[in-house]
Amino acid sequence: MMEDIVTVFPAVTILRNEPLAHYTHTKTGGPADYLAFPTNIQETKSLLAYANQEKLPVTVVGNASNLIVRDGGIRGLVMILTKMNHITTDGQTVTAESGAALIEATKVARAHSLTGFEFAAGIPGSVGGAIFMNAGAYGGEISEVAVSAEVLSPEGEIRTLNQQELDFGYRHSSVQDYHDIVLTATFALTPGDGEAIQAKMDDLNARRAAKQPLDLPSCGSVFKRPKGHYTGQLIQEAGLQGLKWGGAQVSTKHAGFIVNIDHATATDYLELIHHIQEVILKEDNVQLETEVRIIGEKPTAK
């Protein structure tokens, strides 16, 4: 019988059987057996080593903004890294711990009159999630500014990956392939005019607020953009905008988003996603792929 992880790591906040709906941006998701909030790299490494020793599955979550956790929850150890959030600058580079909000990293760049990061000014994810997904918006992608990332392998080895080794693609990085945990990331930017940088960030955020349902819980853009099409337009033309499924709804403001309007469950979200995929495949012969990351177990049948 293993020693309780909560007593092994008294300095780390670890919650038992904690509903992940408290942390996801959709406000849905079942419980984690153990939910830990490490505050530094050493704690993260030690938690991983302990989980490996005790054969506990490990799942790492950033800001949970582009994530759906199934209603059955997640077995083993879940780590949320948002307490690892230090951001530093050195000349024309910004280095951030993986749990730092990407928006905060762009603010630090602006404060130091560094340009190139403005596209990410409204992306609600963490730095680690942005590396994991090669996050992008308004014509920019993380791959254009990220030059390296320090990662922790599933076996517990810390190494630094350069841009080539990160193997960025559309909503993809090598971190996904090798199941690494992002610890820090470094971004190379260029000197610019602080007022012009702020003006561009303000403009992009205003455009985002005008088009996206930021006032309701959602997981952001649900689907990847299919080649030659716009996802929201496909969904709108199929007559699916505004469709309700349980407590979830295809946003009336932007059809590429699904919002939680009435105590939705993750199952509501996933069934609505599947329905949209079926309709678009039948009507347009387009296979919509999810951009949102879907993890966890299905709920136990009652």
Do 109 and 155 have their domain in common? yes
Do 124 and 65 have their domain in common? no
Residue 221 annotated among the catalytic residues of the structure: yes
What contacts 260, CB < 8 A, 6 or more positions away?
A: 26, 27, 28, 216, 217, 218, 247, 248, 269
Do 171 and 229 have their domain in common? no
Do 201 and 224 have their domain in common? no
Do 72 and 97 have their domain in common? no
Whether residue 302 lies inside any domain: the answer is no
What contacts 227, CB < 8 A, 6 or more positions away?
A: none
What is the reported pLDDT for 302? 62
Do 104 and 165 have their domain in common? yes
Q: Check 174, 218, 291, 293 and give the catalytic one.
A: 291
Which of 142, 174, 209 is the last residue before a domain boundary?
209
Do 95 and 186 have their domain in common? yes
* Spans of the chain below 50 pLDDT: 1
What is the reported pLDDT for 111? 98
Which of 209, 238, 255 is the last residue before a domain boundary?
209
The tens digit of pLDDT for each residue in 203-223 reads 999 999 999 999 999 999 999
Whether residue 300 lies inside any domain: the answer is no
Do 101 and 204 have their domain in common? yes
Whether residue 44 lies inside any domain: the answer is yes
Residue 217, domain extent: 213-295
Q: Check 98, 143, 174, 221 and give the catalytic one.
A: 221
Which of 186, 209, 232 is the last residue before a domain boundary?
209
Do 196 and 217 have their domain in common? no
Q: Check 171, 174, 218, 251 and give the catalytic one.
A: 171
When divided into structural domains, the chain yields a total of: 3
What is the reported pLDDT for 1? 42
Residue 98 annotated among the catalytic residues of the structure: no
Residue 171 annotated among the catalytic residues of the structure: yes
Do 96 and 205 have their domain in common? yes
